[in-house]
Amino acid sequence: MTTLDDAELERRILVLLESRPRTSTICPSDVARDIASDDWRPLMEPVRQAAGRLVDRGRVEITQQGSVVDLATVKGPIRIRLPR
């Protein structure tokens, strides 16, 4: 598995979001696959944690079915987007 520090995971999330239209969202798996296309699954939780830190700083929002949700309590698939 590829090992990246917290800051690099956060940077990768922001770079991927900024490379898409402002209205787009990404899945944590998009980031994980971008980093390690063959062994991306172990990166899912670190990417979610990085997204949570970005939420705390107001850099991104976590959504589920189009609504902003709390990452600490949400269950199931999430999306990451730039704040609207």
Q: What is the pLDDT of residues 9-28, one digit of tens each?
A: 999 999 999 999 999 999 99
Distance CA 44, CA 47 (A): 5
* DSSP at 43: G
Write down the domain spans for the chain: 6-81
Distance CA 12, CA 50 (A): 10
pLDDT band at 4, cuts 50/70/90? confident
pTM of the model: 0.93
Q: What is the pLDDT of residues 25-56, one digit of tens each?
A: 999 999 999 999 999 999 999 999 999 999 99
Architecture of domain 6-81: Orthogonal Bundle (1.10)
CB 13 within 8 A of CB 47: yes
